[in-house]
Structure 1
Amino acid sequence: MSAGKAYLDRLNDGRRVWLDGGIVPDIRSDPAFRGTVRSVAAILDLQDNAATESQVTFVTDTGAKANIAYLIPESKDDLFRRSRGLQIWSDATFGVMSRVGGFYRTQLTCWYIARNLIRGEQPYFPQKMADYYAFVRDNDLLLTAAGHDPQIDRTKLAHELGDLYTALRIVRETADGIIVRGAKMIATGAPYMDEIIVSPHSKKTNDEQRYAVMFAVPVSYPGVHLICRESFASNRKEDHPLSSRFDEMDAVLVFDDALIPWERVFIKDDPEAIWSIRSDRLGKALSLHENIVRLTSKLEFTAAVGTELAESIGIRKFAHVQEKLAELYFQLESIRALLVSAEHRATLHPLGVWEPMLEPIVTAKNLGNRYYPRALEILQQLSGAGMLQVPSTIAELNGPLGLHLQKVYRGADRDAEERVKLLKLSWELVGSRLGARHELYERFYAGDPVRTYAGQYVEYDKQHLLEKAGRRTG
């Protein structure tokens, strides 16, 4: 059975995916989900394709085949191999699906590598994490996470809001596990996943111990509800080439007194332990490495679309157009250079794995917050009102007015159908609901850009700069 077929079979598990006020009986056939489901299955089949199998998978120590995101980089070549495999994975969706890629699978791999650093009050963490890593890896499961608390009153901590607050917390413990109640945001891609890891993304205080819990559950777990945003999917693949295939969906998780078995509870009542594992430098470096690989796919795609827009209406010879296109290219090449720099300047971590250099990766991530919105702005400037001057469907070009429309919508170097397809693709990136979601995502997926920029300043090794300035002025 292919990886894609196995995935489709797994989705028939009774998961409680809520959309438009009701539970979706089967996301494989529902119009809001089926296009993306098919895309995910096709991407997973890359693992069984003779042309890509060796690049997107590896053989484990037990002889099983596993996704490249679970590969532990025990050599520098392993790090390069991860990068190549993740690039193929990202290119398959043009970088617009972040969680079907390897981000949280990479993060889980990092937690497995660093599992023995979390002991003390959490003595069972190393073995539980080792077991969970092997389970997810060997069963080729897709993984996402949820860690943000509902936005109710951000001037107060969780325990200060009392009954008003609905953030996930432990309400009691039993011999079988913990009972959790409340919500977590925002589980990107959750309806399509197999597993969800839940833990706070922000640091909890000692007064919030009941909120400081880290565990994993199957998406279909009893007492777990996925509350989806409005669907951005389309059933018109030709007119909406991205929305019909890659609406990743975002969901809020609601836990209705769900019993989490002890073997699935990794950390509880320990804010410091959770913060330690979440802020570990190795974990940050490897997981962000995957993010930047995906970002290069996305920027390459926007640069390609921009180039085609200019070609299609014969404006590439104008200097101001060349300037805009060059900006798209240096966005791409800057991020790609930072990625290569991080990989080639990797160092051997004390745990015996190769760690990509963090500073170039963080720089690329922070630049991406600004680059992608700017890339969309350039596409708007290149097209002008062109994206709005297209027929509602491509099929109209062959309708009653087809002979006239073929002349009206033709381009400088292509026929009307090819140009209209390009304009519709451009609109998907720039003006559609899916496009607006992606712009918001790229701005905030790694946190508030103000804080991430400030964090880079705080963490940057400035001593050599101060010494250099002192030598020159002293």
Structure 2
Amino acid sequence: KNFLNYLTRYQEEDLVGNCAQTDVKGDRSLRPHQQEDPDLYLRVVEKREDGIVVRGAKAHNTIAPYADEIIAIPTRMMTEKDAGWAVAFAMPADAPGITQVIRVTNYRKRDKLQAPITRYGSADAITVFDDVFVPWERVFMCGEYQFAGQLASLFATYHRHSYTGCKPATTDVLMGATALVAEYNGIEKAPHVRDDLAEMVAIAELVYGTGIAAAVKSVKAPSGTQIPDIVFTNVARYHAGINVYREHEILAEIAGGLPATLPPEEDFYNPETAGYMAKYIMRKQGISAEDQHRCFRMISDLLCSAHGGVVQVAGIHGGGSPIMERIAITGQYDMKSKKQLAKYLAGIEG
């Protein structure tokens, strides 16, 4: 009931929320109740008549710096001994006791060579809950450890399914940059370039198509919401994650070393060096020096900037690392029927 009331308000006020799920976790081999510092998983430190007090931190909160609400949920399955850490709630992002330690990255600032890519970046936070008071009406789970894993898994499924739409779009950007620099270098018809581009197409469309399959095979929950097929969702997210560096590798191979050693923008406009830059950046005839410069400046941002590095690591771990997708796949896949098929073909009874 608390959550339904909150959902109604959330929709009526058109709020923006950040799902703060990932605890900092401490020693990964230990459960929440086994940690030397109990605050390494967000936990309830006090229960009152009017609410609870929580302490801990959540990491990798991409939306948090510009969200209205922080919605905290468990990050894993829990046992009865972990009941104190089985907590879910929502609080305003600027509530007393909440501190966001924010890291911002952008593609590199330009003075003259403005381009759409330079308008974008990201902001991430470690969200600290320092004895934050949460009224009962904002509490959705408090000690119900039996449901912690289910809630964590359900959010992960939705998050991973969202990747089947957004991740192919990032591949489209890398693919387009690869095709463009191949053209500008005069090698767009080279067999190895065509093979590499075909590989990128295969990655993007496999992830996107499997995401569509997950939606088509979705099931309606008792609440009325659709839950995407878990196996298809995790297969798609898995292939998206394990191919992130491969996509960047292809772009780096085709572009060559210039994205890493490209002179600063100022040297292309400095009267003493501008002529040299315009002359020696040239590749294929018919393409202006400025367009060549724009192409390599964009690729340098994609491959060599601070934000480019963030995008690569986020592409692997966002929504769950590849090992988590493999665990979900093996946990949900009907392997028994495949064994029965093998027995039938081998002539094994039973």
1:203 maps to what in 2? 77
Determine if the alignment matches structure 1 residue 421 to structure 2 residue 303.
no
**SS across alignment from 1:315:** coil
Alignment match, 1:224: 98
Tell me which residue corresponds to 2:203. Answer: 331
1:461-472 to structure 2, matched below 5 A, reads: 461-472=334-345
Superposed, 1:452-463 pairs within 5 Å as: 452-463=325-336
Residue pair 2:105, 2:306 contacting (<8 A) in 1 also? no
For residues 37 and 217 of structure 2, the distance between their equivalents in structure 1, rounded to whole angstroms, comes to 50
Is the 8 Å Cα contact of residues 86 and 148 (structure 2) preserved in structure 1?
Answer: yes
User: Which residue in 2 is equivalent to 1:444?
Assistant: 317
Secondary structure in 1 aligned to 2:183? helix
SS in structure 2 opposite 1:468? helix
Q: CA–CA distance in 2 between the matches of 1:233 and 1:333?
A: 27
Are the equivalent residues in 2 in contact too, given 1:146–1:199 (CA < 8 A)? Answer: yes
Q: 1:411 aligned to 2:274? A: no
- Is the 2:39–2:55 Cα contact (8 Å) retained in structure 1? no
Does structure 2 conserve the Cα–Cα contact (< 8 Å) formed by 1:152 and 1:165? no
CA distances 1:231-286 after superposition (whole Å, capped 9, x unpaired): 45644376696884333222111122211111111110121123233334xx6554
CA distance in 2, matches of 1:290, 1:158: 29
Query: What amino acid sits opposite 2:289 in the alignment?
Result: A
Whether the aligned pair in 2 keeps the contact of 1:145 and 1:188 (CA below 8 Å) is no
CA distance in structure 1 between the partners assigned to 2:229 and 2:242 by the alignment: 22
Q: After superposition, where does 1:302-451 map in structure 2 within 5 Å?
A: 302-349=174-221, 352-393=224-265, 395-400=266-271, 401-412=273-284, 413-451=286-324
**Amino acid of the structure 2 residue aligned with 1:333:** E
- C-alpha separation between the residues in 1 aligned to 2:142 and 2:220? 31
How many residues are paired up?
345
Distance 2:345 2:11 in 1: 54
Answer yes or no: is the 8 Å Cα contact 1:312–1:411 preserved in 2: yes
Task: Map 1:1-20 to 2 at 5 A.
Answer: none
2:35 paired with 1:161 = yes
* TM superposition shift of 1:178: 1.0
Closer, same or farther: CA 257–355 of 1 in aligned 2, 3 Å = closer
* Residue 271, structure 1, aligned to residue 142, structure 2: no
Q: Give unmatched runs, 5+ long, in structure 1.
A: 1-126
1:237 touches 1:245 (CA, 8 Å); kept in 2?
no
Secondary structure in 2 aligned to 1:312?
helix
Percent same amino acid among aligned pairs? 26
How far has the Cα of 1:311 moved from its partner?
1.0
Q: Report if aligned partners of 1:146, 1:197 keep a CA contact under 8 Å in 2.
A: yes
Q: Which amino acid aligns with 1:457?
A: T
In 2, Cα distance between equivalents of 1:418 and 1:346: 45
Contact 1:236 1:244 survives alignment (8 Å): yes
The answer (yes or no) to whether the contact 2:242–2:322 under 8 Å persists in 1 is no
- Are 1:294 and 2:166 an aligned pair? yes
Judging changes above 3 Å, is the alpha-carbon distance between structure 1 residues 141 and 164 closer, same or farther for their aligned structure 2 residues?
closer
TM-score (norm 1): 0.67
When residues 238 and 447 of structure 1 are mapped into structure 2, their CA distance, relative to the original with a 3 A threshold, is farther
| Distance change in 2, residues 1:198/1:240 (3 Å) | farther
